[in-house]
Amino acid sequence: MAKVCQLTGKRTRVGNNVSHANNKTKRKFFPNLQTKKFFLESEGVWVRMKVSAKAIRTINKNGFEKTLIASARKGTLSV
């Protein structure tokens, strides 16, 4: 499965390692993804999602259902 947050759409970024001599080699920056279960109260079911640490903080702040609706409206929700 791809390293993409299912709520925010964060994905792997590409950049450079830069040495002291200013040599540049390609590298990847991976998002901090966690597999987590959330309870969807309206349906009464548990949902397992692969989300970034920032998305978990947003869910803790706003609630799971509100965050789902917002990401679906934004177009970043992938299930």
Q: What is the mean pLDDT of each run of 10 residues along the chain (79 residues)?
A: 90 97 98 96 94 96 94 88
pLDDT for residue 1: 62
Domains of the chain: 13-74 (2.30.170.40)
* Interhelix angle 53-62/64-74, nearest 10 degrees: 120
Are the C-beta atoms of residues 9 and 33 closer than 8 Å to each other?
A: no
Question: What SS3 state is found at 69?
Answer: helix
Output the pTM of the full model: 0.85
Question: What SS3 state is found at 9?
Answer: coil
E strand segments, the chain? 13-18, 24-29, 33-40, 45-52
